[in-house]
Structure 1
C-alpha cells in the first residue's frame, strides 16, 4: 500500500522563526490522521503545506507519490474544510456545493454537476436541503454543506482545519461519528488538525503529536495514550500525575521526594538519575484503607467532582503534592464514595506506570 501523503525532511521558516523543523511523515492511503498539539506546534503549517497554501523552505511534500513543491492548491488532488466553513452566504446549498465544479476546465455539463451535487448531499445526509439558504441552516448543517463541497470532486486527500471547534459539545460528538462514517464510506485519506486530544483519540486511526515544529510521536490512539514516548506526550494526550524521583543504580528502585522507595521493575534504556513517574488518573484506586501488600500513598481528599458515570478526586499527599484520580462510579458501591476531608489510600501498580527522564519534559 502506497502513502497518500509524505513529508521528506520538511522545514518551514517564517523569517527567523522555524514553524516546522525537519519533519519526516508517511500517511498511508485511506488513513484518518490527526495532527495534534498545542498552539504554535506546527500542525496547521503542515496542513497548509499539504494543501499548497504554504511552500516548504526545504524538503519535499508528496501526495499520491507525486512531488507537490511549487504546485498551486487548485492543481492538487486535495480539498480543505475550514474552521468557519467559508460558505457563500448569497448562494443556496446546491450552488455552494457545485461552485468548484463550475470552475473546472474543461467545463462539466450542468446535468453532470447536478448529479454530483445531489450525490454529495446524500452522502452528508442533506438530500432535501439543496434549495436552502446558508442562513437557514444550523451550525451542524453548515458544516455538512462544507463537507459536501469538499468531497464532491472526490479528492485523494481531505484536509480538516479544526472543523468542529465552533459546535457545541453534543453536536460535536455527533459530527465526530458522522465524519468517521463518511471517511470509511469514501475511503479517502482524512487529515484533521486539532488541539483537542479527546477529538483526536476518538476519531483518528493514526495520531501525530507535535510540539515546537517537530513530531514527538506517531502511532495509533492506543499506542499514543498507553505507551507515550516522552513526558510531553503523556502530559498532552490525556491527564497524568507527575511524581519527581531518583532512579537508583539498580535500574528498578525509585527514590521519591518524601524518602520512600518504589520497585518500578526493570526499565531498559533508562539511566540512573533524576526521573519523573507519570501515573494516569484512572490507574489509581482510591480506598479507605491500604490493602495488605498494596503499593501507594496515603493522602487527604481535597475535592470531588461529580461527572455522571465517573468521579474525579483531588488528593493531597504529604511530601509529594496533589494527585488527580478518576473513578468509574459504575464499579463502586455508594458506600465506597469518599468525601473531601477524608483520609484515603491511593493504590497503583508502579511497574505499569510510565517513567521518564527529566529531559523529556520539553
Structure 2
C-alpha cells in the first residue's frame, strides 16, 4: 500500500456487520489523490456500504477509514471533507437552482457573507455549465440539468472527495453517455478525488482511472479499466466485467495444449499460468472472427442475430460446447451481407485470447 501522503482515501482491514450479516469483510483499499475510482459489483456486494463509510453515514465494525491521512472513525458526516451526489439527487423543490447550490454554504459556521455565498454558488453553476440558470425552479430543469445542479451543490464547498452513488441511473442512454463525459471533464478540471458506485460495467470502464471490482463483501480485483477487462484475475471478474464465453476444458500436466470439452485441441495460452486439470476458459465475444471460407478453429450454426448498427451480435451453436456469443464488426465477413440464422459458419480466434481458470 502506498503512503498516506499520496492517498485521499484508505481502508485498513475494514469490516462492516449488521447483526449477524457481514456486509464487507477485510477491505484494504488505497485511492490516490485526484483519482477517479469506480466501485463495481452486483447488488449486495458491499460497494454502497463502502461509499457510506467514506461519507460517514456508516461506521466500520472493524478497521479504520482514513481521508487525507486522517482517521475518520467516529467523525460525523458533516465534519468530513466529503460531499455526496445521491442517485435521486435530493434537491429541494421549494428552492430555486442557486438556492439549492448555496444551501450547504449557508449552514457553515462561522457564517459566510451573503455576497461570498452568491459568488461561490454562481461559480459552481458555471463549472457545470449552468450559468444563468440560477433563478429557475427545480421542476423547470431536465433530468440532466438536475443532475448538474446536484453536482454544483456537491462541489461548491470544495470537498477533498466527491462520492457518486449511481448518479446516472435515472437518465436515458444518450444523456447518460453525455453526462459521463461531463463528469470526466469536471473531475479533471477540479482535481478532486471522485468515487463512483455503479453496477454498470460500461460506465465504470469508460469513466474511471481505477476500477475496484467487488463480490460478496470483498475486493476481488482493482486496477486500470484496461487491465480489469484484458487480464481478469478470476472467472467472476471475466464474467461480470463485459461479456464472455465460458468453455469447459482440460490441461494435462506438462502438456502444451488445452483440450476443449468437444475434443478440439488448442495451443496452450500464455495466460494459463501453470493451471492444469479441469479448467474453464473464458473468451471475449469480440476476440472471435466469423469465417465463411477457409480454416477455422471451430464451426457451428448461427441461431440468433442481433443488429446493433456498427456491429452485430451472433449466437452460434457449436456442437459439444453449446452457444457462443460473437460480436462482429459489420465488415468482418463481407460488407454486403450478414450471417443468417441457420447458416453454418466458422469461428476463428487466437488461443492466446483465452483466459484459463480452475474449474
Structure 1 residues 313 and 9, CA gap change in structure 2 (3 angstroms):
same
1:140 maps to: 144
Segment drifting more, 326-335 vs 137-146: 326-335
2:318 maps to: 317
CA distances 1:146-170 after superposition (whole Å, capped 9, x unpaired):
0000000100000000000000111
* Aligned counterparts of 2:346 and 2:209: Cα–Cα separation in 1: 37
Matched residue of 1:334: which SS? coil
2:221 maps to: 217
1:303 equivalenced with 2:304 (yes/no): yes
CA distances 1:82-102 after superposition (whole Å, capped 9, x unpaired):
000000010000110000000
Unaligned runs of 5+ in 1: none
CA contact (8 A) 2:271 2:354 kept: no
1:175 maps to: 179
* Aligned counterparts of 2:269 and 2:128: Cα–Cα separation in 1: 51
> Aligned to 1:199, which of 190, 196, 203?
203
Matched residue of 1:86: which SS? coil
* Aligned counterparts of 1:27 and 1:106: Cα–Cα separation in 2: 31
Number of aligned positions between the proteins: 355
> Aligned to 1:58, which of 53, 56, 62?
62
2:128 maps to: 124
Per the TM alignment, residue 334 of structure 1 is displaced from its structure 2 partner at its CA by 2.6
* Aligned counterparts of 1:107 and 1:330: Cα–Cα separation in 2: 64
1:253 equivalenced with 2:254 (yes/no): no
CA contact (8 A) 2:23 2:45 kept: yes
> Aligned to 1:238, which of 222, 242, 258?
242
* Aligned counterparts of 1:207 and 1:35: Cα–Cα separation in 2: 6
Structure 1 residues 268 and 251, CA gap change in structure 2 (3 angstroms):
farther
Q: Normalising to structure 2: TM-score of the pair?
A: 0.97
CA contact (8 A) 1:290 1:347 kept: no
2:341 maps to: 340
* Aligned counterparts of 1:202 and 1:251: Cα–Cα separation in 2: 39
> Aligned to 2:95, which of 91, 97, 100?
91
CA distances 1:64-107 after superposition (whole Å, capped 9, x unpaired):
00000000000000000000000001000011000000000000
Unaligned runs of 5+ in 2: none
1:15 maps to: 19
* Aligned counterparts of 1:109 and 1:50: Cα–Cα separation in 2: 30
Matched residue of 2:84: which SS? strand
* Aligned counterparts of 1:148 and 1:336: Cα–Cα separation in 2: 49
CA contact (8 A) 1:77 1:157 kept: yes
Segment drifting more, 86-95 vs 271-280: 271-280
CA contact (8 A) 1:270 1:357 kept: no
* Aligned counterparts of 2:43 and 2:264: Cα–Cα separation in 1: 38
CA contact (8 A) 1:252 1:267 kept: no
